[in-house]
Every structure is written in C-alpha cells, then in structure tokens.
A and B are shown apart, each in its own frame.
Chain A
C-alpha cells in the first residue's frame, strides 16, 4: 500500500534540496533562468519582497495563473507562499500541486494568533523562525522544513545571521543540559517537551533548516552555510541585481563550495551591481516582516 503525505515523504523533499539555492521568481522567464543557473527549486511570487516592501498594501497568495505558468516552465520543484494562518490559500496551493507551501511572514498575516494546521495537508510546508522556540512550534504544527528568517527584501544579511546564531546557538546549549532541566527549558521555549528533548539528544532540528532574508552575494551564502544552514533562499537578491543570471550561478557555486575560499573569491568577482540594499537597522519596527509569526 502506497502512503502519501507522511512526514518522511514531506521532509524527504527538503532533504533533497540541501546544499542548494531556492530562488524567488515572478514569471516563467525568471524561472527558466533560475533553473539553468542551478537552483534546486523556485518560489513563485507576484512580487519579490523588495517590491512588496516598496509598494506596501496587503500582500497575498499569487494568482494561480502565475503559479501554473511557472510550473509549466521548469522541471524543478515549485514552491508558493500563503499568508500566515490562511489555510484556504494553502488549500488552493495544494490543489495546484505546488511542491512546497511557504507559510510566509513576507505576505500580510491573515491570523494574528494561529498558524495553519500543517498536518491536515499532503503537500509539505516550510515556515520561518527567528528563534528555537518559534521553530519548534512550527514543527509541532507539522512544518516539514524550517527557514531561519532574515529581514526579507533588504539585501542586509545581519538579521539572518542574528537568527541563525540564536537558533543554532540555542541548540548547542540544549545538548549540554541535564535531562531534568529540559522540562523548564520547554516552558521557556514555549515548545512541546518531546521536541525539546529530541533536539537536545540529536543536536539539530528534526527537519531541514535553510536560511532566508537579505542574502545578496556569494559571500552571504557561504556565511550562512558555514554558520550551519542546510541551504539558502534568495529572494530579491538575484533578480533585483544588475546581472541576475551571473549572480544566480555564482551564489549556487558558493553554496556548494562554501568552505573553499579560492572558489568563493573567483565566483565573487565581476558580478556587476548587487541589489540596492536597505540597512535593516534603519527600518521602523512597524516595517519589519520578520517579527510576524507567533
């Protein structure tokens, strides 16, 4: 008997994406460039985060027509975003047979208290997290992949680094706690005790952990990989730069050879203009996307 949508099958796809780059694309043409550049998956969007930030207003799930156009253009997995807690958007994305749903803080949240019950779906979900407790709450809700959040659409890596340090550092500290200390740690983390104990015993999250938000250069990707990410999402950093194809290829190579500084030096050279960044520190707290998620 074939079983569909088991946790092993859902997290299995994330396992296959490891060591790879997932790229935001807004149309078939960009999707083809991403695939030819070595992306392991594309995120189908109507607007990249930098434009969502600039335009303001309510950001929602993409038009299904747009998603279909991108699905037809490439053979690699196609992901798409739904709003936090918007399970009806998620149902639509599952009906479209997207390969992964990103319940994303980049879109305007639909529920200020609850996330989507991801166990109710066959299609796997990836969710953002800024700290270990948030990551484990998402796993408890059925997320099959986590991405640490940076501040999307800025081209500033600092928040991605802060949150990776927070998640991976906390995991390292958990592994040194005594068994009885894990109960109160679960209380502090506001996460299920069983997951806290699993992390303490295994020294990692139970699901693949990528990083996202602010990655704009090959060096940014290598930094994230060396800090412990399993792979990277690049949003605005590629198609908001001067030479997207060249930059996309360079970031892919940097993600594979993230410890080889000679290769990193070579692929970093002559890439043209990076995306124009916004310092995350200059943003008003109300403009931050990463704080969305509960």
Chain B
C-alpha cells in the first residue's frame, strides 16, 4: 500500500495536513452531522452513564479512543477484508480496543470501573463506532479515518457532557461533585426525576430540539 501512496504523490500534489476538506471531517460531526442528535446513533450509553459528569468524561474518552483507533486499524486492513465477514472483523477489532480500555480502567481507576460496570463493555455495541467503521473507514485512507473518528468522538462527547451537566446539576445539585447550591447557600431540593432514567430522556429530547432547531434539520 505504501507504494500506491507514493505513486499518487507523484501524480498530484499531496494534500495539506489540515486542508479544508479534512477540517470538515472533524467539524461536521460536531453540529450538522452529529452522531447522536442527527444520525440517532449511540443513544444507549449517552443516557446510561450521564447521571454524574465524572463517569461521563471517562466514557467520552473511552469511546473517542475506541473510534479513532478502530477506524485506523480497519482503514489499514480494509483492502484485505472479504465483504461477507466484514461485520465480524469489525466487531473483533472494536472488542480488542474496548478490552484495552476496560483493562486500563481496571488497573488505574478501579472505583470508576465499578461505577461504569457493564457500560464499558457496551462500547463494543455503540452504534457510532460500528457506523463510522462501516460508513467511513472501510472506504478511506488511514489519516482521514483518524480525523473522522476524532470528529465523531467529539460530537458524541459534547452531547453526553451537556446531558450529564444538566442531570448532575438538577438531580444532585452539584457540578463535578462540587455542591454548588450548598456552597452558595441556596436551599435546593434535588430533583429525583433527573437522576432517574426519565430525566435523561427529557433532557436529551430538549437538547435534540434546540440543536435541530439551530441547524434547521427536520426528520421526514
């Protein structure tokens, strides 16, 4: 494959490291093509881990890591994977990186591993990862795939951080475990619905509403 790249460079001028097209790869999933609010992917973990902000940050990092590296690996081997078994190959690659994330977390932050529980393993079935592999990495060069994965990871991260911010703020009256209302001396009764699943659905619905109104996206 390296010879192929080299030949192409002779024919056409190589693309800048951060050309307009490549910036678009990173920027598009943040808003106009957001994986959660527009493509409707990866909702499960967006709701399940967002009770507090801290686990959400870990989850966002884990998912971004998994997308970037499985995009890279699949993109590298894309020409050798037979079409019929590609789903299983993709699952195996994703499972590899999720195992890495899980073992790393187990070793360095065991309490957080306990909090996230089964949801670390569920990154494997996060549709965003599979969606990017299937839609992008199977047909694009490694470097572009890394950027695309990074963009999707960030798009996912900011939505779940927004959801968890409101859930923790309204549900536990704190931000990153810092008791805001107590510190300000304002009496605030925690809203139990926000800690519960119902609050997650409602908050996500409102974020989707605001975001779609802003981007002008209408579902048919």
Chains A and B come from one and the same complex: no
Chain B residues engaging chain A, CB cutoff 8 angstroms: none
